[in-house]
Amino acid sequence: MDLNEWLKWYDKLRLKFGYSVVEDQNAARLLSELLEGRSLDLKILSNLIYGKNVLVIGTGPSLENNLSRMHSLKQFTLIVADGASQAMLENNIKPEIVVTDLDGSHEHLLQSDKMGSIMIVHAHGDNVDLMRNLVPKMKNCIGTTQVKPLHNVYNYGGFTDGDRAVFLANEFGAKNIVLVGMDFGEKIGRYSKTKINDEKLKIAKMVVAKELLEWLSTFSTSKLYNASPSVIKGFKNITLDALSLT
């Protein structure tokens, strides 16, 4: 992903949602300080993703219908969006990577970290207190930001946990990326953030996330599939039962 192109998107998003560049930058600096000397080597992500089949799991309502199929997809690296970590752990599935801005179930995020999941923790102006509380308790962290990156806090693109997970898989050269639980509808899944104060805002963010994925599809070198009920331009619809990727 071209960082300059992403920053153009970010400018649109901060105007649309009223974000503060200064607050986002301050959050990134805090995360950088919290991870100083303890951020994981990026090679660990490359080993899990490069040339691999990757399943990106969101928190849409359709996720629940597909949980029973996850055990049979052992050829995939599992990257889950925040609250989807709860769904995985409740079904005795360890996610290799969790992409989170820390507003999902703290219990399950910390449990994922304890089990060895790589925690891709995202900094923004609204989650400073959550970072101060949770990041020191985690051992397997890599930091991300939506503004200019720092020496140990990266920007791979993406806006919500779900689409950031797809951007991450793309950045590290996944062979195939398959989306699960990425519904982008008006119904919010029960594994989404623990408390939703504004459903209209949540839905507006999902609209943007879908737009970003459609933009990603115009330059991604990965083969892109969607096993969710949504239609995303550039992603081929497929069912989990039909997966036999080469």
Residues paired with residue 225 on neighbouring β-strands, in sequence order? 178, 236
**172 to each of 14, 37, 43, 138, how far by Cα in Å?**
26, 23, 10, 23
pLDDT of residue 115: 95
Average pLDDT along the chain, 246 residues, taken 10 residues at a time: 91 91 96 96 96 94 83 87 91 94 92 96 95 96 96 95 96 96 76 62 89 96 94 93 70
Q: What does the block give as tokens for 127?
A: 């989650």
What residue has token string 């993406």? 158
Closest-CA residue to 12 (of 233, 163, 208, 230) = 208
Distance between CA atoms of residues 70 and 67, nearest Å = 5
Q: Is the dihedral of CA 186, 203, 132, 144 positive or negative?
A: positive
Distance between CA atoms of residues 121 and 100, nearest Å = 5
Sheet containing strand 176-180, strands side by side: 153-154, 141-145, 118-123, 97-100, 76-81, 53-57, 176-180, 223-226, 236-237
Distance between CA atoms of residues 26 and 233, nearest Å = 35
* H or E stretch covering 170: helix 161-171
The domain 3-242 is placed in CATH, from the list 2.60.120, 3.40.50, 3.40.190, 3.40.1350, at: 3.40.50
What residue has token string 């990727």? 245
Domain boundaries, the chain: 3-242
Closest-CA residue to 90 (of 76, 104, 77) = 104
Assess contact for 129 and 97: CB atoms under 8 A. Answer: no
pLDDT of residue 215: 97
What residue has token string 């597909």? 66
pLDDT of residue 78: 95
CA angle 213, 156, 158 (to 5 degrees): 35
Three-state DSSP string of 43-91: HHHHHHHCCCEEEEECCCCCHHHHHHHHHHCCCEEEEEECCHHHHHHHC
pLDDT of residue 199: 76
Assess contact for 91 and 80: CB atoms under 8 A. Answer: no
C-alpha count within 13 angstroms, C-beta hemisphere, residue 246 = 0
**Which residues are CB-contacts of 5 (< 8 A; sequence separation ≥ 6)?**
none
Residues paired with residue 76 on neighbouring β-strands, in sequence order? 53
